[in-house]
Amino acid sequence: MQTANRELVDLENRFWQALVDDDTDTAISMLAEPSILVSSHGAMTFDRDAFRQMAEQAPMVVRSFELSEIQVARPSEDTAVVTYRVKQSVAKRGQSDEVTEDMADSSVWVRKSGNWQCVMHTETALSSH
């Protein structure tokens, strides 16, 4: 994998690990402002303060993750789209019972002043059949 693409895959892993570690500051530092999320809850635009609130008060938390089938598209030097499957284990906040979900995700990264920031993330549950 090209070095530039490896950097983007590393950023995806770092963001996911920040979620697992409950390291909201690291996750926020990787977000563009505003950012967009598209999920089963619909599409939403948020700033860093709103992300902090979502991350710290979400009813579900990520306990572990495994990325696979990673692809990186580079429509321009300063724009990248990373797509992948993720097997994630989530649990209700404060509880230990985990549920494993198989998802198809994508992130759009833009480079500003030499730093990559995630401007949009999508997640779609994959059917289990």
Q: What is the pLDDT of residue 129?
A: 53
Q: pTM of the entire structure? A: 0.92
CA 96 vs CA 47, 61, 78, 102: distances in Å: 30, 10, 41, 19
Q: How many CB atoms lie within 10 A of CB 16?
A: 19
The domain made up of 3-125 has a fold known as: Nuclear Transport Factor 2; Chain: A, (3.10.450)
User: Tens of pLDDT along 23-73?
Assistant: 999 999 999 999 999 999 899 999 999 999 999 999 999 999 999 999 999
Per-residue pLDDT band for 18 (boundaries 50, 70, 90) equals very high
pLDDT, residue 62, reads 96
Is omega for the bond preceding 34 within 30 degrees of 0, making it cis?
A: yes
pLDDT tops 90 at residue 127:
no
76-100: average pLDDT: 96
User: Using one digit for the tens of pLDDT, what is the confidence trace for 93-123?
Assistant: 999 999 999 999 999 999 999 999 999 999 9
